Structure 1
Amino acid sequence: MTEQEFLDLLARYKHGKLSGAEMQQFAQAVADGTFDDLVKEDVLKTLHEPKVSGKKGILRILTVRRYKVAAAVVAGVVAGGLSFLLLTRHSRQADITARRNVEADFPPGSHKAVLTLADGSVVELDSTGAVIPAQGNAIAQASGGQLHYQGGSSGPESLYNTLRTPRGGQYKIKLADGTQVWLNAGSSLRFPIQFHKGERTVELKGEAYFEVAKDAARPFRVKAGKMDVAVLGTHFNVMAYENEETIQATLLEGAVNVMAGNEQQRLAPGQQASMPASGHIAVKEVDVEEAVAWKNGLFIFQDAGITTIMRQIERWYDVEVEYEGAPKDIQLNGEVYRSYNLSQVLAVLKAAGLQFKIEGKKVVIIS
């Protein structure tokens, strides 16, 4: 492939006009390292240009308010002796491995989940929907990647259902009170099929974004590990994966109270409460776009370490990640579409200095 042919593919890629075969050819050319200088130039240009709606680069442009942070991190990494953007040369065997990596591809996640009913029966859900057996007088319907509960009463005792998304899956649910919940990959939500008087309580493992229906008489409570989040009606994200260092609650709209043991903190929009496995609740201002990026079809990395990034990739692409040696101590900034195949995401990370090989369903990071 000539430089001009590569630039033509790059230009068409930015406008979303590559065919499947062309996309594979383009990703392979990036992984090969033949056009390292052109890739580096594009990434640098992308980092410094204003954001243009609908335009894509090898590394999707950071928003203006993120730019100063990104520039500082780039400078810090270069000063530390490891360029954030400089592509390094490797042995012939490494190049062969890179070409094979493009062929060993994995598609992005999709709408899929498993619903466990109160009687223990299980219903498989996907984007086409499913038939949900009756439970009391409540009605549940599944279609278009969404589960919807409405009407009825479950009687004097609440009947609980559990919605679980596997790695490589996500799903949306509308609860009986009108609250909407987006469930990220590798997560579960336990909830009553009908809320009675008093609190509306659900239990979360993993990550979910909530748009809570307002009801002053019935506060909404999310139990996530050692953290409880109580609201009346608001928009917020909760991340409580067991393999993450902290539980995080991020508020986008309204107000929430975050509780853990005898501690309680009230959040304002734009704030995030985080709590490690053993420690106290800490509150800070954050960019909420990063917290809900997964819901909006993006990976957004701000000062993100390799292990943090790869945990997200494990969940979304349903792969295992291992490390040959200690992971590189670098922090990355940027945005990548979650609709990309794994090879495309790894090509972006390769442009940031990450080296890898794929063995079956395992991604091995080479330090």
Structure 2
Amino acid sequence: MHKIDHIVNLLKDYLTGDLDVQQANEVERLFTEHPSLRKIVRELDHENNLREALHAYTELYTNTFREREERVLKDVLSRIKDESRVSKPSFIWRRLTIYASVAAVTIAVLFVAIIRQKKTTVSPSPSVEEIINTFTPGGNKAALTLSSGQQINLSDTYSGIVIDSQIGYEDGTSVFEEGRIAEDEVLTLSTPRGGQYQVTLSDGTKVWLNAESKLRYPYRFSREVRNVELEGEAYFEVVHQRDAPFIVKTAKEKIEVLGTHFNVNSYQTDINSTVALLEGKVKVSSGEDHNTVLKPGQQSVVSRGKIEIRNVNVDECVAWKNGEFMFNNETLENVMKKVARWYDLDIELSSNLKDVEIWGSVSRYDNFNTVLKLIKMTDDRIRFEVTGRRVRFVK
């Protein structure tokens, strides 16, 4: 066993690059005497797996390995016993040395061969970087649902649908067969996490829907009022009609307009609901007693039934619609809500990171690792852990 252990340990030191000159010469002699061993090790070296082999050896030196080792030793002892019946003592000891050496090399070859087998039969676990690279951005994904509950998954080849003489895609291709939609039909356009879509309503109003959002609207508007309901985030370009106000209802406010461009962010899971005005004039109401009129460049923030008015950079509010994430000293907690919806991830922050402020912008069409780089630029002490599609940030 001493000889066997010595050679195995020698190979272990060779694999980790810890040989002194004497040991290196000994390994070279071993390779010269046993070319098969040199070939196996060279193959491992070619695969850049030598240093990993030591770790694999500690996992592979199991009871099965020991049983194989014992079988080799028993075979050696059996041969020595047979030789002792017909040979002189000095010859026996000489043969013992030879057999012990053969046994040692056999065990060593077995050790390396098992490692090689493990390398070729077990796929290595993907690295964190490889997993992160699979977190690709969202795209054109949406479903259109009728009042009856019938649902149509819309094509991701197109970015939106148009309601005209029929419901069709931008190039005129029909979504439904003609004549199947009643004039008073109420439709729901919904996007999943990682989805976005557009719709041009029957009055010509254009709506861009962000990820994980729903817009309910009639197939045809009445002449007196144009009502839609929103859950999530959407950007509106409302066509002016003097005698038919356009009203957007969310769970937290009502927005009344005649013709204007504005963004509404009203997710049920968020405490605040916001309306940012780019052009025109809108009236925002919350409950019976709170209402305000916004001017371009202003944003209303509804929280627990109360309305606050802020001056904002409207480009930041509609950056998502233009294919960007734009953050101006925004808390990491808010940033990650937006990122999680777009990349369809489950993101968790340690408590000491929620109020960290992020500044910068990245394309919404970059992979998730680009967002990570922006966060690391803010504070390189921030680390992340990945499990499946769950990302946890810690510091």
Q: TM-score, normalised by structure 2?
A: 0.62
Paired letter, 1:306: L
Q: In the superposition, relative to structure 1, how do residues 178 and 98 fare at CA in structure 2: closer, same or farther (>3 Å)? A: same
Measured after TM superposition, the shift of residue 266 of structure 1 is: 0.6
Distance 2:302 2:339 in 1: 23
Paired letter, 2:318: V
Aligned to 1:350: 376
Q: In the superposition, relative to structure 1, how do residues 243 and 203 fare at CA in structure 2: closer, same or farther (>3 Å)? A: same
- Residue in structure 2 matching 1:238, options 264, 283, 287: 264
Deviations 1:328-362, CA, capped at 9 Å, x for gaps: 53212111111110112112211222321221101
After superposition, where does 1:88-237 map in structure 2 within 5 Å? 100-105=128-133, 106-129=135-158, 139-143=166-170, 158-237=184-263
Distance 1:280 1:328 in 2: 24
Distance 1:358 1:143 in 2: 39
Distance 1:196 1:153 in 2: 19
Distance 1:302 1:184 in 2: 20
Does structure 1 conserve the Cα–Cα contact (< 8 Å) formed by 2:264 and 2:274?
yes
Deviating more after overlay: 179-188 vs 346-355: 346-355
Point out 4+ residue stretches in structure 1 off by more than 4 angstroms.
Answer: 143-149, 151-155
Distance 1:361 1:145 in 2: 38
Measured after TM superposition, the shift of residue 119 of structure 1 is: 2.4
Q: Residue 158 of structure 1 aligns to a residue in which SS?
A: coil
Aligned to 2:45: none
Q: In the superposition, relative to structure 1, how do residues 148 and 214 fare at CA in structure 2: closer, same or farther (>3 Å)? A: farther
The structure whose residues are more often strand, as a share, is 1
Q: In the superposition, relative to structure 1, how do residues 186 and 313 fare at CA in structure 2: closer, same or farther (>3 Å)? A: same
Listed as ranges, the gaps of 5+ residues in structure 1 are 1-96
Identity %: 40
Task: Answer 1 or 2: higher relative contact order, Cα 8 Å, separation at least 6.
Answer: 1
After superposition, where does 1:311-350 map in structure 2 within 5 Å? 311-350=337-376
Deviations 1:294-336, CA, capped at 9 Å, x for gaps: 0011111112111111101110000001234542532121111
Paired letter, 2:309: V
**RMSD over equivalenced CA pairs, Å:** 3.0
Aligned to 1:248: 274
Deviations 1:30-71, CA, capped at 9 Å, x for gaps: xxxxxxxxxxxxxxxxxxxxxxxxxxxxxxxxxxxxxxxxxx
Measured after TM superposition, the shift of residue 224 of structure 1 is: 1.1
- The alignment status of 1:362 with 2:390, answered yes or no, reads yes
Measured after TM superposition, the shift of residue 153 of structure 1 is: 12
Measured after TM superposition, the shift of residue 218 of structure 1 is: 0.5
Q: Residue 178 of structure 1 aligns to a residue in which SS?
A: coil
Greater Rg, structure 1 or structure 2? 2
Does structure 1 conserve the Cα–Cα contact (< 8 Å) formed by 2:323 and 2:365?
yes
Q: In the superposition, relative to structure 1, how do residues 328 and 162 fare at CA in structure 2: closer, same or farther (>3 Å)? A: closer
Distance 1:239 1:314 in 2: 15
Aligned to 2:35: none
Measured after TM superposition, the shift of residue 164 of structure 1 is: 0.4
Paired letter, 2:377: A
Measured after TM superposition, the shift of residue 148 of structure 1 is: 9.2
Aligned to 1:267: 294
Distance 1:122 1:172 in 2: 17
Distance 2:317 2:208 in 1: 13
Paired letter, 1:246: N
Does structure 2 conserve the Cα–Cα contact (< 8 Å) formed by 1:126 and 1:145?
no
Listed as ranges, the gaps of 5+ residues in structure 2 are 1-124
Distance 2:198 2:383 in 1: 35
Q: Residue 154 of structure 2 aligns to a residue in which SS?
A: strand
The structure whose residues are more often helix, as a share, is 2
Measured after TM superposition, the shift of residue 232 of structure 1 is: 0.6
Q: In the superposition, relative to structure 1, how do residues 162 and 330 fare at CA in structure 2: closer, same or farther (>3 Å)? A: same
